[in-house]
């Protein structure tokens, strides 16, 4: 069977590309080896946010229930119901995606795809070929898989990945999380909230390695305050099992070169993800890769005519919303439409732990390294009326502006609902709004969004409430 476009993978890159292609009149097929929606829907973005929402409700009642006149005695956690809710939400959204694909006439092919020359693919089910398909355009959107330590044996009981962490049969009393990117931080908060004693180990010198220094420092202070142990600049020397006590022991070397032995029921490896491009035939058809990523041009074309790649398989931020925008751009470029290029320096990055973290643009350090003379200011949530009334005053908003041209270089937030605040900054930066233009935009009171206005005002010595 022949199509105009075949897409490998149905995650937030693949299914968005398929729908946009169908909207533009292209005969479209998607190849999926497991479940429609990819990792994001089935084992990533969606189920983790459901779990985190349960954790936040629990912690809100525990922390502030009495203040709001709500009795918080004898709170019980039904962990199996929390897991059930997350899977139910996944199923609901998956049905929605399937409906959209059916509505748009998209053909779904289940199986493993092997790329062939002359714009063909062969599909395998249970290692048995079920036939070949061809298309004018083939898009690789196979996403990412957990990054593994080659020296570690993942038994999925004592040593696990994020996929295992989403479906544990019971809550561990102690857990060690290796890696403090968004995956590690979100799971650290969730399991801590459920009553697990959590320890986070990070090889970098900052608890939030890719974030602004002030955000990372505040996060470390907050984790220390609520009892999530953490070690930065720490390397793992050895992992051993103690079968008698049903424990895993981790020996780490800290920045002070001191060796520490930690014990837990299980270890969650959250050291990142890598492109899922093995065994799909890239080498055989000559598609160029570099350091594990598919090489593409600005229109997501590989070096082989008719083959494209988007999302986590290329060297752009491994984020669902990035993959979705790349999907639309890729399809519209195929159709010859004049679409806007993605500004990868204006991509919001979010961590939905508690406190949440959100950022866009350059950090303060990066701004200075690039030669900008900067104006920098923060505004704490403990000075904001809405945050005070919510009894949730942890964190702050930090803004960075170029002193010469008043360009908004970056914004970094940590606190309640900041992942819902960051789009305002993304839009303002997209429109090249100056600080004075944003200050002239009235924000509702009381609202958390006032923190953005107050932080900008503080950068120019105009803050009212500080």
Rounded distance between C-alpha atoms, residue 144 and residue 45, angstroms? 13
Residue that finishes a domain, picked among 224, 254, 271: 271
Residue 363 sits in a domain whose CATH number is: 3.30.390.30
- Are 255 and 278 found together in one domain? no
Residue 464 within a domain: no
Residue 122 within a domain: yes
In 270-333, the DSSP E strands lie at 273-275, 289-290, 293-294, 307-309
Residue 154 within a domain: no
* pLDDT score at 293: 98
Average pLDDT over residues 313-325: 97
* C-alpha neighbours within 13 Å on the C-beta side of residue 75: 19
The number of distinct structural domains making up the chain is 3
- Are 35 and 107 found together in one domain? yes
SS3 452: helix
Residue 151 within a domain: no
- Residue 280: partners with Cβ closer than 8 Å, 6 or more residues away: 8, 112, 113, 114, 115, 140, 142
* pLDDT score at 381: 98
- Compute CA 435 distance to the chain's CA centroid, rounded to the nearest angstrom: 29
Rounded distance between C-alpha atoms, residue 8 and residue 446, angstroms? 47
- Residue 424: partners with Cβ closer than 8 Å, 6 or more residues away: 449, 452
- Are 139 and 229 found together in one domain? no
User: pLDDT per residue over 46-76, tens digit each?
Assistant: 999 999 999 999 998 888 888 788 877 778 8
| Closest CA relative to residue 23, chosen from 36, 5, 11 | 5
- Are 178 and 134 found together in one domain? no
If residue 191 lies in a helix (H) or strand (E), which one and from where to where? helix 182-193
Rounded distance between C-alpha atoms, residue 106 and residue 36, angstroms? 12
Please report, in angstroms and rounded to a whole number, the separation of the first and last CA atoms in the chain: 66
- Are 424 and 365 found together in one domain? yes
Residue 7, domain extent: 2-146+274-344
- Are 307 and 379 found together in one domain? no
Residue 396 within a domain: yes
User: pLDDT per residue over 2-53, tens digit each?
Assistant: 999 999 999 999 999 999 999 999 999 999 999 999 999 998 899 999 999 9
Supply the pTM of this predicted model. Answer: 0.94
- Are 261 and 278 found together in one domain? no
When comparing pLDDT for 244 and 275, which is higher? 275
Residue 212 banded pLDDT, cuts 50, 70, 90: very high
User: pLDDT per residue over 349-398, tens digit each?
Assistant: 999 999 999 999 999 999 999 999 999 999 999 999 999 999 999 999 99
Residue 258 banded pLDDT, cuts 50, 70, 90: confident
Residue 245 banded pLDDT, cuts 50, 70, 90: confident
- Are 56 and 86 found together in one domain? yes
% of the chain surpassing 70 pLDDT: 100
Residue 295 within a domain: yes
Annotated catalytic residue, options 137, 279, 321, 445: 445
* pLDDT score at 438: 95
Average pLDDT over residues 163-185: 94
Residue 350 within a domain: no
- Are 101 and 134 found together in one domain? yes
Q: Above 80 in pLDDT, residue 416?
A: yes
Q: What is the DSSP code (8-state) at residue 346?
A: G
Residue 431 banded pLDDT, cuts 50, 70, 90: very high
Sign of CA dihedral 64, 65, 66, 68: positive
Residue 105 banded pLDDT, cuts 50, 70, 90: very high
445 as an active site residue: the answer is yes
| Closest CA relative to residue 46, chosen from 82, 94, 99 | 94
Residue 110 within a domain: yes
| Closest CA relative to residue 198, chosen from 245, 149, 267, 259 | 267
């Amino acid at each position: 069977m022949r199509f105009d476009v075949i897409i490998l993978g149905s995650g937030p890159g693949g299914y968005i590309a398929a729908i946009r292609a169908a909207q533009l009149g292209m005969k479209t097929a998607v190849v999926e080896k497991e479940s429609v929606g990819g990792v994001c829907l089935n084992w990533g973005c969606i189920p983790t946010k459901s779990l985190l929402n349960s954790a936040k409700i629990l912690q809100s009642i525990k922390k502030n229930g009495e203040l709001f006149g709500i009795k918080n005695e004898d709170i019980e956690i039904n962990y199996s119901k929390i897991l059930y809710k997350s899977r139910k939400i996944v199923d609901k959204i998956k049905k929605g995606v399937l409906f959209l694909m059916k509505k748009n006439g998209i053909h779904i092919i289940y199986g493993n795809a092997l790329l062939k020359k002359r714009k063909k693919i062969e599909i395998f089910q249970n290692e048995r070929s079920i036939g070949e398909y061809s298309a004018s355009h083939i898009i690789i959107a196979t996403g990412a898989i957990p990054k593994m330590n080659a020296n570690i044996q993942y038994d999925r009981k004592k040593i696990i990945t994020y996929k295992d962490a989403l479906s544990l049969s019971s809550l561990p009393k102690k857990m060690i999380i290796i890696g403090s990117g968004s995956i590690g931080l979100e799971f650290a908060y969730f399991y801590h909230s459920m009553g697990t004693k959590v320890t986070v180990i990070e090889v970098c010198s900052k608890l939030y390695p890719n974030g602004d220094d002030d955000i990372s420092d505040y996060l470390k202070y907050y984790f220390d305050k609520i009892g999530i142990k953490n070690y930065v600049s720490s390397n793992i020397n050895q992992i051993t099992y103690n079968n008698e006590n049903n424990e895993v022991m981790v020996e780490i070397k800290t920045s002070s070169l001191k060796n520490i032995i930690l014990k837990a029921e299980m270890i969650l490896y959250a050291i990142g993800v890598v492109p899922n491009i093995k065994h799909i035939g890239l080498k055989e058809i000559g598609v160029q890769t570099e350091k594990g990523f598919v090489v593409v041009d600005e229109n997501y074309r590989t070096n082989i005519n008719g083959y494209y790649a988007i999302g986590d398989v290329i060297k752009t931020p491994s984020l669902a919303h990035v993959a979705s925008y790349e999907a639309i751009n890729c399809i519209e470029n195929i159709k010859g439409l004049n679409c806007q290029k993605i500004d990868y320096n204006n991509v919001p990055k979010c961590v939905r732990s508690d406190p949440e973290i959100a950022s866009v643009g350059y950090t303060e350090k990066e701004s200075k390294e690039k030669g900008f003379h900067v104006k920098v200011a923060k505004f704490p949530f403990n000075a904001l009326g809405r945050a005070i009334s919510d009894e949730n005053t942890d964190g702050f908003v930090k803004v960075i502006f170029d002193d010469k041209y008043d360009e908004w270089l970056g914004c970094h937030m940590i606190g309640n609902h900041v992942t819902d605040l960051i789009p305002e900054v993304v839009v303002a930066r997209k429109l090249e709004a100056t600080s004075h233009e944003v200050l002239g935009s009235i924000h509702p009171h009381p609202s958390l969004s006032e923190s953005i206005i107050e932080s900008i005002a503080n950068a120019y010595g105009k803050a009212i409430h500080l």
